[in-house]
Chain A
């Protein structure tokens, strides 16, 4: 435990999905409002705010999206900073907020993420997403994000053997969990064959291996530990918050989550725990192969052994280390700039025993892994955040 402890006071999340008729400022402010109302924090108590977002400027909306949302909930006259780092934008916003509190600069800080992806022309949304890769060669010559997952899956299966059915089972698991999450975007009752028979997107990735494009927002209020103790009954402590970029100087091993391995090692070391200590995990399953490779990157399984966690049931809701009880990106949805803080919301609810029908049995330590972007096939950013209820 560190001297300068930081804890989450409370969280809030909008519904995820096609939020037709809702402006980005509306569902954005709903998430912040929930986080404020469910604790005794007043709008005036927020000293700084960090907001993750990717696309509002490109969509010809506002480039002061944080201020526009926070105005709706009376949080004004403070430093507001937008953080853009592809699909990990809001985890990065959360980690900046964490550092500000940990360093003693501020006592109570808001972190949030927001994204509007539906109701804008698909080519605009796809262009926003393509911008998360190298634009000079890969983007200009047709690489897509699901293509990157397809390339990883083919390299993985060439190295370790066929895991096509286990990938489908990951999608089934996350959809089953999502059916128990009223705020999840895709409420689908599917089986293995539905996944395997869905239309091909980027071989061997099929439509039902991939996350949807969603609208949504999520918010978290964090504070110095002793202040959090005064304000809420059960503060959720931040035991580690780490992020790293890729190396980019050496050849990429596409079958391995080398970036995860490095960032997870830092986070475990910071928290003083190992993968066996985790009770609940949220990972970046933009495609099913992503989830499988994150098992290995985070050390939940050895390299090449990720599928064994699916076969044994370890990652199921009632398993040894449940992964993506929220439904993950696959079912909860993936409003890119909001996903990271949504993972934090899920861990907080799980660690407080407030997750309803998808509650994991009595967890005390949770981990969230969030990825963003890629260059020459290697991740742009991977983040690992570890929370506990002490």
Chain B
């Protein structure tokens, strides 16, 4: 199943600049910062390490799958986002990331579920009316 929204292209706006890109295999990947001194990983990216303050840091690709730490389904929400919508926190090996979820209606969410990254339309820019893109996770098919 495709992991990048069909309307997304290189000139599309992101909710969080620089937070996600298309990797060589054509699938999306989240970009964080890893410290070369203490190995602390943070998302989204930062110019120096918040753990040891070193600026010897570089971009790092985060794991594309993880497990659902917790979630909720919101029935009221923000401008530009049509309720109900689901969000929560995902554990990706070495970092905990806030994310919206997609395809949660088809496969109900449970804490601990395996989830995978997709690049999705997050909301409509209230000023331009253009869609803004970013990361979401979706429940993975159970292995047969």
Contacts and interface: CB of A to CB of B under 8 A. Distances in A.
13 contacts: A123-B79, A134-B98, A136-B16, A141-B134, A142-B81, A142-B87, A144-B77, A151-B70, A152-B70, A154-B70, A155-B70, A202-B73, A376-B89
B71 interface: yes
Contact of B87 (A123, A143, A152, A153): A143
Contact of B88 (A126, A134, A151, A205): A151
A205 B75 CA distance: 10
Interface residues of B, number: 35
B89 A154 contact: no
B78 interface: yes
Contacts of A142: 74, 77-78, 81, 85, 87, 100, 122-123
B110 to A, nearest CB: 8
Contacts of B58: none
B140 interface: no
Contact of A202 (B16, B44, B75, B98): B75
Interface in B7-36: 15-16, 19
B72 A141 contact: no
A140 B72 contact: no
Interface of B: 15-16, 19, 40, 43-44, 50-51, 69-79, 81, 85, 87-89, 91, 96, 98-100, 110-112, 122-123, 134
| Residue from B15, B51, B111 whose CB has the most chain A CB atoms within 10 Å | B111
Contacts of B74: 142, 144, 146-147, 150, 201-202
Contact of A377 (B44, B89, B134): B89
Interface of A: 123, 126, 130, 134, 136-138, 140-144, 146-147, 150-155, 158, 199-203, 205, 249, 251-252, 254, 376-377
Contacts of A136: 16, 44
B84 to A, nearest CB: 8
Nearest to B96: A251
A137 B44 contact: yes
Contact of B73 (A130, A140, A203): A203
B51 A249 contact: yes
Contacts of A153: 72
Contact of B50 (A150, A203, A249): A249
Given A137-B98, A205-B72, 17 more contacts: A136-B16, A141-B98, A141-B122, A141-B123, A142-B74, A142-B78, A142-B122, A147-B72, A147-B74, A147-B77, A150-B73, A155-B69, A158-B110, A199-B75, A200-B75, A252-B89, A252-B96
A250 B134 CA distance: 24
Contacts of A130: 78
Nearest to A253: B69
A137 B99 CA distance: 8
Contact of B98 (A138, A146, A150): A138
Contacts of A152: 70
Contacts of B75: 199-203
Contact of A154 (B51, B96, B98, B111): B111
A304 to B, nearest CB: 15
Contacts of B110: 158
